[in-house]
Amino acid sequence: MTLHASILVVDDDPDVLKAARLLLRQHFDRVETTEDPAEIESLMRKSPIDVFLVDMNFAIGRNTGAEGLHWLGRILMLDPDAVVVLMTAFGDLNVAVKAMREGAADFVLKPWQNDKLVATLSVAAKLRQTRTRVNALSVLPPADDMIAGSSKMREVMNVVSRVAPTDANVLIRGENGTGKELIARALHRQSKRAASVFVTVDLGAVAESLFESELFGHMKGAFTDAVSDRPGRFQAADGGTLFLDEIGNLPAPLQTKLLRALESREVIPLGSDQPVSIDVRLISATNQPIDRLVSDGRFREDLLYRINTIDIELPPLRERLDDLPDLIEHFISLYARKYSLPAKPVTANALTALRGHHWPGNVRELSHAIERALILSDGVELDAADFRLLKGDTGSEATLNLDENERRMVSLALERAGGNISHAAAALGITRSALYRRIEKHGL
C-alpha cells in the first residue's frame, strides 16, 4: 500500500539517493532527493514535506554528526512541526540521544535494512499527520490554550493549571478527536520542564515486536538487526516529558517493565544488564475503557495506579456544545487563511444542524467538516446543505453507524488480503494488534 506522504532524502552520496528513491517510491506517493542540504529551504517552499530523511555527515572524513544537527535545527526553525529522521554510517549512542533531544523524530544507521527504514518513515509520516491534526485542533493566536468556554472544558483547564507545575503522572482519557495530545502539551508547556523536551510515542502505531526497543532502547547485538546502540524514548525524554499515547495498546510483558521503570526511575536497554537513570514526567492517554481492561485482566491494576496519579477526562464534543460557535469560527478562519478563501459565516439553519449532529469523531470531525464545506461551498454563507452530516444522527444511531462502517471496512480489508492479517492491517493503516482487537470486537 502506498502511503499518502511526501519524503525528502538529503545525502551527498548519489548511490544512497538512488537506492532511497527506488525503495521509498514503492511505499510513499512522493519522494524527492537532493545531494545539497542548502537546497532544503527552497524545496520546502516549493511544496509541503511530511518527513525529512537527512544524513548527519556531508564532508568527507566527518563523523561527528554536527552537520546533521545543524540542518535539523534549520529545518525545525523553518517548520517547528517538521518530522526529521537522521541517518549516519557511524553508530554513536550519545549523538543519537542528542539528536532526539534536539527534535529528531528518529535515527537510522546506514546501510539500512529496507523493511526497517520503510517502517521508521511510515511511523514518522503518521507522526506528521498527528501534528497536523493537533495544529488543526489548537486555537488561533494570540491565545495559547484550547477553546474552553463550556463548563466541562473550564473544569478540565482548571485541573491542567493546578497539575502542570507538579511532576505528578497524568492519565488523559477521551474519545478519538477530543484533543488528548493538546492537553498533554498544555501540561508540559505550563510545567517546570517546559524548557526541556516533549517526546511523544503513539503506541498504536508501533509494531508490538518493537515496543521494548522503542521505549527502553537497545544495545548492539541485542537482536538480529541491532547493528548499533540505540536510545529509547525514555532516554530521549530525560529531563522533560514523555507522552505515551494509546497506552491501552501496551502488551502485558511491557506493562510489567514500564511499571518497574516508573518505580525505580531506571530503564534497562535490550541486550544490557546495566540500568540507565531517567528523570521523566509521564503523561499517558487512552481512548479505551481502561478500567474494563483492568477487570478483564488485560491491563495491570498497579500500573494504572502508577500512571493516573491525576486522571483527566476530556468530554466529547456533543457534551460541550457551548464551545461549538467558537470552534466553528476558529476553523472557518483557519481554513480561509490556508486556502485563501473568504471566511464565510454559518447560517442559523446550519448551526442548528451542527448542534444536532452526534459528532462521533469529535472536534477532529468538526474540523474536517468545516474544511470540506468551506472549499466546496458556492454561496456567500455556509448553509446546512454544505455540511455532509447524517440526517437524524443522534446518540446510539450514530454509534451503530460508526460500528457498522468499521466492521464493513475490516471485513473488506480481510477479504481483499485473503485473510492475511499483516496485509489487511497495512491496508487499513493500523497495527496487527489493533486489527486483532477489531476482529474480536466485531466477531469476525
pLDDT tens digits along 296-327:
999 999 999 999 999 999 999 999 999 999 99
pLDDT in the model for residue 44: 87
CATH class entry, domain 395-442 = mainly alpha
Q: How far apart are CA 38 and CA 51, in angstroms?
A: 17
Residues paired with 285 in a beta bridge: 172
Q: What pLDDT digit, counting tens, does each position of 225-238 carry? A: 666 677 888 888 88
Q: Nearest CA to 219 among 234, 229, 206? A: 229
In order, the DSSP letters of 214-227 are HHH-B-TTSSTT--
The single-letter DSSP state of residue 203 is T
Reply yes or no on whether the pLDDT at 138 is more than 60.
no
Residues 177-189 have a mean pLDDT of: 91
Our separate counts of H helices and E strands in the chain read 18, 12
Coil, strand, or helix at residue 311?
Answer: strand
pLDDT at 265: 92
CATH fold of the domain at 3-117: Rossmann fold (3.40.50)
Instruction: Look at the alpha carbons of 328, 333, 339, 340 in this order and tell me if their dihedral is positive or negative.
Output: positive
Crossing angle of helices 432-442 and 421-428, in 10° steps, is: 100
Report the pLDDT value the prediction gives residue 328, as an integer from 0 to 100: 93
SS3 per-residue string spanning 71-138: HHHHHHHHCCCCEEEEEECCCCHHHHHHHHHCCCCEEEECCCCHHHHHHHHHHHHHHHHHHHHHHHHC
Report residue 418's pLDDT band, with 50, 70 and 90 as the boundaries.
low
Which range, of 58-67, 198-207, 254-263, averages the lowest pLDDT? 58-67
Question: Can you give the pLDDT at residue 134?
Answer: 59
Surface-to-core class of residue 94, CB atoms within 10 Å of its CB (0-12 exposed, 13-18 middle, 19+ buried): exposed
pLDDT of residue 440: 66
What pLDDT does residue 132 have?
67
Query: According to CATH, what is the number of the domain 318-352+363-386?
Result: 1.10.8.60
The mean pLDDT of the chain is: 83
Taking alpha carbons only, the member of 423, 427, 435, 122 closest to residue 249 is: 435
| pLDDT interval class at 396 (50, 70, 90) | very low
- Of the pLDDT bands very low, low, confident and very high (cuts 50, 70, 90), residue 394 is very low
Residue spans of alpha helices (H) in 166-239: 180-189, 211-216, 233-236
Domain-by-domain residue ranges, the chain?
A: 3-117, 138-315, 318-352+363-386, 395-442
Q: Quick check: 424 and 412 in contact, CB under 8 A?
A: no
Model pTM above 0.85:
no
Range in 143-147, 173-177, 197-201, 295-299 the model is least confident about: 143-147
User: Do the first three CATH levels of 3-117 and 138-315 match, i.e. the same topology?
Assistant: yes
pLDDT tens across 333-354, in order? 988 988 888 999 999 999 999 9
Q: What are phi and psi of 304, to 5 degrees?
A: -60, -45
Nearest to 51 by CA among 75, 73, 34: 75
In this structure, of 93-107, 250-264, 307-321, the range with the lowest mean pLDDT score is 93-107
Q: Which residues pair with 87 in a beta bridge?
A: 55, 108
Specify the DSSP class assigned to residue 170: E
> Residue 29 above 80 pLDDT?
yes
Q: Quick one: pLDDT at residue 318? A: 93
The neighbouring-strand residues paired with 10 are 34, 54
Fold observed for domain 138-315: Rossmann fold (3.40.50)
| Separation between Cα atoms, residue 441 and residue 166, nearest integer Å | 38
Residue among 43, 26, 25 nearest 34 (CA): 43
Residue 230 confidence (pLDDT): 76
Q: Where is mean pLDDT largest: 22-36, 51-65, 96-110, 196-210?
A: 22-36
Q: What is the mean pLDDT of residues 368-389?
A: 88
Which pLDDT value is given to residue 224? 66
- The more confidently predicted of residues 112 and 436 is 112
pLDDT at 88 over 90: no
